[in-house]
Amino acid sequence: MPEVLTFGECMAVLYPPDPVVIDDAPLLKWDIGGAEANCAIALARLGVSSRFHTRIGNDPFGRRMVDILAGEGVDTSAMQIDATRPTGVFFREWLSDGARRVFYYRAGSAAANMGPEDLNASHFAGVKAMHLTGITPALSDRAAALCTHAIDLAKAAGVLITFDPNFRPRLWTADKARATMTPIAAAVDVMLMGHEDAAALFGAGDDEHYLQSAVALGIKTVVLKRAERGALAIVDGVRYEAAVVAAERVIDPVGAGDGFDAGFIAGLLRNKSIPEALHLGAIVGAGSVAHLGDYAGYPTMSL
């Protein structure tokens, strides 16, 4: 029985094996990537059982996705095949100066057609936490309805709800994101956000503005991820600060935020203190940036 349930879109990702723009790449490698799937993999590597819910196409991308996730120890039993829609695909670059370009081909994907019927009360049996991100409601109205339904089910089951806004301006405007994500955020127990996420939800401001704006929504545990400046948190009115964990090298920042989320969630589920949970998140995030790929650098640890 999984301890953590998460759902969303995982896609095939194609990228140059070297730090060059796609225009100049003679070949592309491919793997899988997606915020919620990344988090599920990171949790599994930390010894926290996870299950990933999604829809995939009946295609090589979807089949490989199941194989990779299952190989990482993620429960894939709730990954449904959609015979009429494809698995989403995206292309991205990683350049030595830190610049990035991302090209999405996900409109009309199988995962974008997820809806409330994909989750029911039985899926929450034995589950301790549900993790969702703001990417899923950005996919479609049906996916947004799924998020609202999932929150209702999780609350009825007494499950901890964690949320990363993960604002993606390529998917929707800040105004639409704010209108959709604010009621979601107000219903969760834990919010883990970066500066871009916080600005989309609460407007321009400093760290204190972002933290207090989230607290004002009634969220008991608020974490602000600040990259090289570490993390801040307010939990039941108590303030915490955690230093960054130095990475052995910085190659690719993709997946670092998802890894941080997984580390923090794992810390909570293993009854770690808030400073310990923040530090664990920082460790996983630092491991991520030292390797190319969404999830390759997540550490395997026994908690």
Does 8 fall in a domain? no
DSSP per residue, 111-169: GGG--GGG--GGGGTT--EEEEETHHHHH-HHHHHHHHHHHHHHHHTT-EEEEE----T
pLDDT digits (tens, 9 = 90+) for 156-190: 999 999 999 999 999 999 999 999 999 999 999 99
Has residue 16 been placed in a domain?
Answer: no
Lowest mean pLDDT among 11-25, 28-42, 89-103: 89-103
223 SS3 class: strand
Residue 48 lies inside a defined structural domain of this protein: yes
Instruction: Report the C-alpha gap between 167 and 183 in whole angstroms.
Output: 15
- 291: pLDDT strictly greater than 90: no
Confirm whether 66 is domain-assigned: yes
Which is higher by pLDDT, 35 or 94?
35
Q: Which residues are catalytic?
A: 258
Per-residue pLDDT tens for 253-271? 889 999 999 999 999 999 9
Cα separation, 67 vs 74, in Å, equals: 10
Residue 27 lies in a domain: no
pLDDT at 265: 98
Question: The CATH number of the domain where 190 resides is what?
Answer: 3.40.1190.20
pLDDT tens, residue by residue, 123-137: 999 999 999 999 999
pLDDT surpasses 90 at 241 = yes
pLDDT, averaged across the chain:
95
Domain total of the chain? 1
227 assigned to some structural domain: yes
Q: Identify the domain containing residue 170 by its residue range.
A: 34-87+109-289
Strands 190-194 and 160-164: parallel
Kind of pairing, strands 102-105 and 89-92?
antiparallel
Residue 251 or 193, more confident: 193
d(CA 70, CA 9): 16
Q: Looking at mean pLDDT, say which of 84-98, 175-189, 235-249 comes out highest.
A: 175-189
Does the residue 165 lie in any domain? yes
Has residue 242 been placed in a domain?
yes
Q: What is the pLDDT of residue 281?
A: 97
Q: What's the chain's Rg over C-alpha atoms?
A: 18
